[in-house]
Amino acid sequence: MERAERGERILAAARELLLAWGYQRVTIDEIARRAKVGKGTVYLHWRTKEALLLAVLLKYKSHSQRRELERMRADPLEILPSRMMHGHYRDLMEEPVLRAVYTGDPDVLGRLNGIAQKELAGLMAEGERVLHRHLEVLREHGLVRDDTEVSHQCYVLMTMTTGFVMAESLLFDCAPGPAEVRADILARTVRSALETPACPDSSADRASAAAPEIIALYEHLEELSEQEMRRQLRH
C-alpha cells in the first residue's frame, strides 16, 4: 500500500472514531484496527494521537477552503458575505467535523479543542486577518457598508453563522425546511446587515473588480493550511 493511500485510510478511520466516540475515548490502537494497519504504522505518519486528530481537523477545513475558492473562481459574486456564508453554512451542514470545529463541540473535541487553539493559533489568526482584509476590499468597491468598523462586521459574520449552526441542535424541533432553506435565511440576514443595495449589473461589475485580490487572500490561506498539515506529519 502506498504511503499516501495508507495515510488517507488512517485519517478516515480517525475521523469516524472521533465523531462516534469523541477525542477522549479514541485511541491509536482502535484507529489502527479500524484502518486495518498496525499501531506502529500509524506512528510512522503521526507522532502522537493529538497530531493525527489535528490533521483530521485540518483536512476537512482545507476541503472547505478549496470549495470556497472554487465557488469564488466560478462566480465573482461569491465573494459577497451573504453568498460566502451561504456556501460556508452548507459545507458545515454536510461535514460534522467542520461543525464540531466551528462550534467547539466539547462532546467531540474535548481537550483537542484547547490543543488546536494552541497549535493552530497562527493559522487561526491569519484566517481572521484574511476575513478582515476581505471586508476592507469589499468596502473599497462599495459592496459592503462603511458605517461601522470592519472588526465589528467580522464579528457579525462569525456570530451569525455560529448561531445558525448551533441552532441545528438547540432549536432542531423548530428549524424551518431543509438545510438549503436555512442557508437562504442566513444569506438574507447577512445581506441585510452588511451589504449595500445595488442593481445586479453594478454588483457583478464591482465583484469582478474585487475578486482577484480576495481570491489571492484565500489562496494564501489554503497554502498555509497545507503547510500546517505537512508539519503535523512525521517525516
Could you tell me the three cell numbers for 146? 462603511
Residue 54 lies in a domain: no
Q: Give residue 235's pLDDT band: very low, low, confident or very high (50, 70, 90).
A: very low
The percentage of the chain sitting over the pLDDT mark of 90, rounded to a whole number, equals: 63
- Whether 18 and 85 map to the same domain: the answer is no
Residue 118 lies in a domain: yes
Query: What was the pLDDT predicted at 21?
Result: 94
CATH number of the domain within which 19 lies: 1.10.10.60
- Whether 41 and 69 map to the same domain: the answer is no
Residue 104 lies in a domain: yes
Residue 53 lies in a domain: no
58-72 mean pLDDT: 92
Average pLDDT, the chain: 90
> In the chain, how many domains are there?
2
- Whether 10 and 72 map to the same domain: the answer is no
Secondary structure (H, E, C), the chain:
CCHHHHHHHHHHHHHHHHHHHCCCCCCHHHHHHHHCCCHHHHHHHECCHHHHHHHHHHHHHHHHHHHHHHHHHHCHHHHCHHHHHHHHHHHHHHCHHHHHHHHCCHHHHCCHHHHHHHHCHHHHHHHHHHHHHHHHHHHHCCCECCCCCHHHHHHHHHHHHHHHHHHHHHCCCCCCCCHHHHHHHHHHHHHHHHECCCCHHHHHHHHHHHHHHHHHHHHHHHHHHHHHHHHHECC
Whether 114 and 120 have beta carbons less than 8 Å apart is answered as no
27-32 mean pLDDT: 95
- Whether 1 and 117 map to the same domain: the answer is no
- Whether 22 and 94 map to the same domain: the answer is no
Query: What was the pLDDT predicted at 188?
Result: 95
Could you tell me the three cell numbers for 45? 505518519
Tell me the C-alpha distance between 223 and 229, whole Å. 10
Query: What was the pLDDT predicted at 208?
Result: 96
- Whether 89 and 119 map to the same domain: the answer is yes
Q: Which of 17-31, 83-97, 126-140, 192-206 has the lowest mean pLDDT?
A: 192-206
Residue 136 lies in a domain: yes
107-119 mean pLDDT: 87
Query: What was the pLDDT predicted at 200?
Result: 67
Could you tell me the three cell numbers for 85? 456564508
Whether 46 and 232 have beta carbons less than 8 Å apart is answered as yes
- Whether 28 and 134 map to the same domain: the answer is no
- Whether 135 and 216 map to the same domain: the answer is yes
- Whether 89 and 156 map to the same domain: the answer is yes
CATH number of the domain within which 92 lies: 1.10.357
Q: Which residue has the higher pLDDT, 229 or 153?
A: 153
Residue 12 lies in a domain: yes
Residues 170-212: tens digit of each pLDDT: 777 787 888 899 999 999 999 999 999 876 678 899 999 999 9
Asked if residue 26 has pLDDT above 90, the reply is: yes
Residue 210 lies in a domain: yes
Residue 184 lies in domain: 60-232
Q: How far is CA 141 from CA 77, 188, 197, in A?
A: 13, 20, 13
Query: What was the pLDDT predicted at 199?
Result: 65
Q: Give residue 227's pLDDT band: very low, low, confident or very high (50, 70, 90).
A: confident
- Whether 40 and 65 map to the same domain: the answer is no
- Whether 142 and 64 map to the same domain: the answer is yes
Query: What was the pLDDT predicted at 72?
Result: 97
Residues 126-170: tens digit of each pLDDT: 999 999 999 999 999 999 999 999 999 999 999 998 889 888 877
Whether 68 and 23 have beta carbons less than 8 Å apart is answered as no
Asked if residue 1 has pLDDT above 60, the reply is: no
Residue 50 lies in a domain: no
Instruction: Determine if residue 177 is left, alpha or beta; phi over 0 gives left, psi from -120 to 50 gives alpha, anything else beta.
Output: left
The percentage of the chain sitting over the pLDDT mark of 70, rounded to a whole number, equals: 97
- Whether 228 and 120 map to the same domain: the answer is yes
